[in-house]
Amino acid sequence: MTLVHRKKRPLIRDKESFRDDRLFIVACDDTYAPEQYFRFFRISRVQVHVVATTDGTSAAPHVLERLLDIEHIEDDERWLLLDVDHCLQSTHTPAFLEAIRRARDLGVKVALSKPSFELWLLLHHIEPTEVVTLANATEVERKLRLALGAYNKTRLVKADFPLSSVAKAHGGARTLDTTDSEIPRTNSSRVYKLWDAIVAGALQSQLPTELGALRNTN
């Protein structure tokens, strides 16, 4: 069989950006929430480009292929944001684990959320002790809806996730992430690791004051 090497899709960078802006290319298994969430934040000399799932193929191997299909340069950071809830059913587990291992072999960083990305959003508003018993993504969304008064993942509200609340979510997620296992065994979200990477490479003068607490944790 002859392999066809496709030309990678070019990524349109912000034309107003500086040549040395840092770019994070983030592929996720969600169509709406992560893309909207990261669009809310503007940090000097940082761009976050989210590759959302738009064709219904949200399994980890497909998400990884979409990420690998994006043109990038050596200094760009590539990330996978994946939910654990439906990916660890018996029929999906081997492919899920293989995609994660392949990603890491290729230098792609991985941030898993158990059960879902909405847990990360929820941690902007409540204490980590309040999420440990939530059984699945449906319960997380129900709790998020109670915390916000309303929640629609297709139309996130910027005012619900101010920059000042990121440090709260970050601290809560770090508290919950108590194991070194490849896949979280309890409710947690490693999206905080992506924020760690964003903050770690920034000059103090480039960071909004609300993110100062994140720098102190690195």
Q: Is residue 7 in some structural domain?
A: no
Q: Would 1 be classed as within a structural domain?
A: no
Beta-sheet strands, E only, within the chain: 22-28, 46-51, 77-83, 109-114, 188-189
Question: Is residue 202 domain-resident?
Answer: yes
The owner of tokens 């500086």 is 18
191: domain range? 22-215
51 in any annotated domain: yes
Q: In this model, does residue 3 exceed pLDDT 60?
A: no
**pTM of structure:** 0.89
Percentage of the chain beyond pLDDT 70 is 88
Distances (CA, A) of 22 to 54, 68, 77, 94: 25, 18, 8, 33
Query: Is 65 domain-assigned?
Result: yes
Q: pLDDT class for 16, splitting at 50, 70, 90?
A: low
CA-based nearest residue to 68, from 94, 35, 103, 92: 103
The tally of domains found in the chain comes to 1
| Averaged confidence pLDDT in the chain | 88
